[in-house]
Amino acid sequence: MEILDWRFKAVPDRAWGKTAAEFLADRPALEDLGTPLLTLDAAALEHNLRTMADWCTAAGVDLAPHGKTTMAPALWQRQLDAGARGITLATLAQLRVARAFGVDRVHLANALLDPAGLRWLAAELDAAPAFSFTCWADSVRTVDLLREAYPGSRPLDVCVELGAQDGRTGARTLDEALAVARAVCAAPRLRLAGVSGYEGALKSTHAIETYLRTMVVLHDRLRADGLLEVPDAIVTAGGSAHFDTVVRELAPVRDSGTRVLLRSGAYLIHDDGYYRTVSPLPLRSAMHGWARVISRPEPSLALLDGGKRDFPYDEGLPEPQRVRGGGELTGARVTALNDQHTFLRDADVRVGDVVRLGLSHPCTAFDKWNLIPVVDDAHAPDPQVVDLVRTFF
């Protein structure tokens, strides 16, 4: 069992030399931890987990949440226990983390072309009959490289990836996608598993709907041509912003027995920024930043001891919410972040106060912390630490 020490900036020195269980047995409070700090809220995590699981069940779709959001195997396990069909990942390194923690169903939302990585994957598949893996291909060249480099005895499941103009990866036309699918079917150790894509890079609702309908057309062509005959064939899309649209538009493929697989990952953590404005579900932000006022050099300016090294900023600056143990910060705003400082303006705070910050974009919050405390209630005057979540970036 891992021992806590100086490597984990979230824990105080009194925890060094203890296991997480031993540290938690002392019933630490949030005020026992240093700043800057990222925390998770236990009640919000549970609410989000159940809300998404119930929604997917009601919609009749599967969920393989994107594990790259948290890279926290303990949270992945909670998602699997709540009914997720598998975990989605993006890179070979992430896949190796999943296998190290015994994740048996992985959907790689990317092409895997590294020859050494494919040799490792083949050995994993051959040694573990329960391990299920799917990756993507968006060109005949990709299929050729997979065919040449993959040495496994079990077939490698591949989804043909359809893209769209101004989107991310993916074949840009139906004819190109069909050529990819035929190449997969012709390769001796590859197997066509379905159709994949990502709608989140598109700029309008109309573009997203048109794209998803084209995915359905591609699926139907593959079925009609006898190319998609595997059990549990899938059509998969769905980031964390438009998954309701994905379910609505992809629904027709279910008539032929194909599964609709969502890959939404940010729902579990949600946020107080981008996803708060776009999520179709009533989720709660389960993450907060905490930083201490270390300077009041001007009447309207306070400097906090956390910055870009600690909190996300790519989808919006932190939102000042309240003083720990005190009141709400009405009218306060963050105007800039440096590496280790937050510029807080128009806030009624004193040097030494600890400010709770709402954050935007969980994907770029978690990668800054290798151990994240979970508190019972981030809104309480004196939150208590009830768990620690380990990440592996």
- In whole angstroms, what is the distance from residue 296 CA to residue 319 CA? 19
- In whole angstroms, what is the distance from residue 152 CA to residue 120 CA? 9
Contact 140, 180 (CB under 8 A): yes
pLDDT at 357: 98
pLDDT tens digits, one per residue of 240-249:
999 999 999 9
Nearest to 293 by CA among 285, 302, 284: 302
pLDDT tens digits, one per residue of 123-136:
999 999 999 999 99
pLDDT tens digits, one per residue of 345-379:
999 999 999 999 999 999 999 999 999 999 999 99
319-323 and 87-89: which strand pairing? unpaired
pLDDT tens digits, one per residue of 279-291:
999 999 999 999 9
Residues facing 87 on adjacent strands: 106
**Residue 151 pLDDT level (bands cut at 50, 70, 90):** very high
Handedness of CA 76, 80, 84, 88 (dihedral sign): positive
pLDDT at 225: 97
| Cβ neighbours of residue 352 closer than 8 Å, sequence gap 6 or more | 292, 293
pTM: predicted TM-score of the whole model, two decimal places: 0.97
- pLDDT at residue 336 is higher than 90: yes
pLDDT at 205: 95
Please compute the mean of the pLDDT values over residues 230-239 and round it to a whole number: 95
- pLDDT at residue 318 is higher than 90: yes
Please compute the mean of the pLDDT values over residues 252-281 and round it to a whole number: 97
The CATH H-level superfamily of 13-42+282-390 is D-serine dehydratase-like domain (2.40.37.20)
| Host H or E run for residue 156 | strand 156-161
What is the 3-state composition of the chain as percent helix, strand, coil, each rounded to the nearest 5?
35, 25, 40
In the chain, CATH 3.20.20.10 covers: 43-265
What are the tokens at 280? 């179709």
- In whole angstroms, what is the distance from residue 296 CA to residue 353 CA? 11
- In whole angstroms, what is the distance from residue 245 CA to residue 212 CA? 9
Contact 204, 166 (CB under 8 A): no
Nearest to 52 by CA among 61, 42, 39: 61
Phi and psi torsions of 342, nearest 5°: -115, 130
Please compute the mean of the pLDDT values over residues 103-117 and round it to a whole number: 98
- pLDDT at residue 1 is higher than 90: no
For helices 140-149 and 115-127, angle between their N-to-C axes, nearest 10 degrees: 60
What is the CATH architecture of 43-265?
Alpha-Beta Barrel (3.20)
Q: What is the mean pLDDT of the chain?
A: 97
In the chain, CATH 2.40.37.20 covers: 13-42+282-390
pLDDT at 99: 98
